[in-house]
Chains A and B, each alone.
Chain A
Amino acid sequence: MVMELARYLTVEAGGRLMHVSVIDRGFDGYEVVYHYALDHLEKNLHLNIKVSLPEHNPEIESVAKLSPEASWSEREMMELTPVKFINHPDPRHLWLPYEWPNPVEGVDYEFLKDRLDAPPTQKSSNQPSLMPIGPYHPLLIEGAYFRVKLKDEEITDVDVKLGWNHRGIMKLFESRSYSRGVYLAERICGICNVTHTTAYLNAVETLSGIEVPDRAKYIRTLIAELERIHSHLLWLGVAGDLIGFKTLFMLSWKVREKVLDIFEATTGSRRTPAMNVIGGVRKDLAGETIGKIERRLLDLRGEIEGLVKLGYDHPLMRRRLQDIGKLSLSNAISGGAVGPTARASGWKLDIRWSSPYLAYADGYTTWDLITEDGGDVWARTMVRLKEMLVSIDIAKQCLQALKKVGGPIKIEAVDPKNFPYNEALGKTEAPRGELMYYIVSDGTNIPYSVRIRTPSFRNNSLLPKMLKGYALADAPIIIGSIDPCYSCTDRIIVIKDSENPKGRGA
């Protein structure tokens, strides 16, 4: 039955399957929730299909053949909860460490065989046919593992193993009250922590029916846009480093320091603003700080236009980035790409536009959507560069509005008391793409379960498709072009040990 519904939703209605999450209901078994986004039909329209399964050996038909983007979500759920997705195309282990105490039976751990500390073996001629880009590699700031199969320096197949950053964050969420959870949501990813708190608070505030005052909406949007500029500048520097362009790293990080100065002057800390609290914002922006920010935004715009011009006409950069790591529009839609990676393939997908939140709605700010149609690393670079200029416009409009709009910046509720609804979906447009929080509440002030689907989780599943057929020398910049953030990807769900089916896990 689920298959027909899924086929109807994706094929006829053209919806997007965002995530498959499993809620463990203890005695009455498991709930498999399919999150569909239909926000292209009407703004903010989402659909959750719930399927409840019995407690002992729960099984369900896998949707991955129909919509391949669900394969990673289902793999994650299959690996971490006893739910089995029947004839899933690739049911291998993805997140858990190798020597996890009780590996889920019936799955062949191909990775367990060639363990990392085995000496590198070259089977055929001295040309290494199997190249491990291992957990520690200069290309990745964080841990990830790509097993690249090569045929004389051309990539034929890539296999991804993640989970090196898995800190069991969702288990921690389930032991913290909502107001304390904000500071945990902020530490899932160091680069995009404002969007994480915004998404978490979108979900919590819809859950508890709190309406954020207008002034707080503008301040939150301002901080979110400043963070998008900082994140794109950081990516530009790292991408420059990946193609050996040390100067671009230095130039873009010199400009980034200006954005961090704005953060430090207004919110008190360079990289963790901690501005968002439940019901609004922690600190108000006084009159002259708004003037200060406006002056700084002016020369920031000049610097970023310089970087955009540099990106455009540097001959070698264009030659190194053009037509590699191609992702066609059909692959992007079927693979479920999100954020700049999708927009670079010509797909008009932006959460700020399709389901607006905070001050992105029509009444508050007006801005336009940037898309390119090249689909290669060069197009992604251009999308991110132009998006920075759009972000500066939005930040300017927020500052103008802040001068006019008065009113409180926070509703006094430290911890929400009553919960009119028992589940909520909070979504934002993180610098890397669509970020989704799904919070289920059981009436107490501690969430029953929190499911997070981050943009890098989805973009990483597209990497094997992008890397095939290109030279190993291009692998770093192709992997870098989706702006992978493995801290986001490995936030992962709680484990429910099979010995005590009753409790909600260790």
Chain B
Amino acid sequence: MLQNIKKKARAYSPWIFHAHAGGCNNCDIELAACFAPRYDLERMGIQLRNNPRHADILIVTGPVTKQISSSLRRIYDQVPNPKVVVACGSCALTGGVYNRDDGKPNYALAGPPEKLIPIDISVPGCPPKPESIIDGVMLALEILRKK
């Protein structure tokens, strides 16, 4: 009985921390639009916290630039377990439009986030529509429930 209360509580009040890793801030404003009146995420008890210590879900946007890669790694370590990482936007999945055509790595990027931190959910789109982000968060709830 205690176990399923714990699982339910985790799935019913996930707190999100948004880590910007260098993209063009289009995904960030779409994520912020998810908390605006039209796509209000607080209906499901979700809060956007700006302190990694308080967070359950870490949403990463943007191809990780070299300079912010060490900070992103530290932010990931600061989020207490159990945690879920959502990669949001095609930059966060494979570097999107910032990849060079001849396959050589872009000198300013430290590769997409999957090279630095383990990713659990990927949200495509450039920028992903708030509906896709909400789907991603719903999937994250399921994973939190199982963790």
Contacts and interface: CB of A to CB of B under 8 A. Distances in A.
Indicate if A touches B (C-beta under 8 A). Answer: yes
Interface in A152-176: 163-169, 171-172, 175-176
Interface string B20-31: 101111111110
A495 B107 contact: yes
A254 B38 CA distance: 7
A452 interface: no
B100 interface: yes
B68 A117 contact: no
A487 B71 CA distance: 17
Given A142-B20, A171-B107, A271-B26, A135 B68 contact: yes
Interface string B38-73: 100000000000111000000000110111101100
A138 interface: yes
Nearest to A234: B29
Contacts of B66: 97, 166
A165 B22 contact: yes
Nearest to B48: A138
A227 to B, nearest CB: 12
B33 A253 contact: yes
Given A166-B67, A485-B25, A250 B127 contact: no
A193 interface: yes
A367 B48 CA distance: 40
A396 to B, nearest CB: 25
Contact of A164 (B65, B106, B129): B65
Interface residues of B, number: 42
A441 to B, nearest CB: 19
A242 to B, nearest CB: 12
B127 A272 contact: yes
B107 A116 contact: no
Contact of B97 (A165, A184, A250, A486): A184
A172 B104 CA distance: 11
Given A190-B127, A495-B107, A253 B37 contact: yes
A191 interface: yes
B28 to A, nearest CB: 5
B117 interface: no
Interface in B61-103: 62-63, 65-68, 70-71, 74-75, 96-98, 100-102
Contact of A189 (B20, B24, B75): B24
Contact of B25 (A142, A163, A183, A254): A142
Given A175-B101, A270-B129, A143 B24 contact: no
Nearest to A190: B26
A143 B20 contact: yes
A476 B36 CA distance: 21
Nearest to B67: A97
B12 to A, nearest CB: 23
Interface string A118-160: 0000000000000000111110011100000000000000000
Given A141-B28, A142-B20, A487-B24, A167 B68 contact: no
Contacts of A250: 36-37
Contacts of A136: 19-20, 52, 71, 75
A146 to B, nearest CB: 15
A190 B29 contact: yes
A66 B91 CA distance: 42
Given A175-B101, A272-B126, A163 B23 contact: no
Interface in A260-279: 260, 270-272
A257 interface: yes
B109 interface: yes
Interface residues of A, number: 50
Nearest to A188: B24
B24 to A, nearest CB: 4
Contacts of B108: 166-168, 171, 492
B20 A168 contact: no
A167 B98 contact: yes
Given A141-B28, A271-B127, A506 B107 contact: yes
A167 B110 CA distance: 10
A135 B106 contact: no
Interface in A16-40: none
B71 A191 contact: no
Given A164-B67, A167-B108, A190 B28 contact: yes
A187 B23 CA distance: 9
A94 to B, nearest CB: 12
A440 to B, nearest CB: 21
Given A97-B66, A190-B26, A168 B71 contact: no
Contacts of B28: 141-142, 190
Which of B29, B70, B100, B108 has the most A CB atoms < 10 Å from its CB?
A: B108
Interface in A166-212: 166-169, 171-172, 175-176, 183-184, 187-191, 193
A138 B25 contact: no
A141 B25 contact: yes
B70 A117 contact: yes
Contacts of B25: 141-142, 189-191, 485-487
Contact of A187 (B20, B29, B71, B97): B97
Contacts of B71: 116, 134-136, 143, 164
A98 B65 CA distance: 12
B65 A165 contact: yes
Contact of B74 (A117, A166, A193): A117
B139 to A, nearest CB: 22
A271 B24 contact: no
B129 A254 contact: no
The 4 A-B pairs of least Cβ separation, nearest first, read: A190-B26, A138-B50, A168-B108, A97-B67
5 contacts: A166-B108, A253-B33, A257-B33, A271-B26, A487-B25
Interface of A: 96-98, 116-117, 134-138, 141-143, 163-169, 171-172, 175-176, 183-184, 187-191, 193, 234, 237, 249-250, 253-254, 256-257, 260, 270-272, 485-487, 492, 495, 506
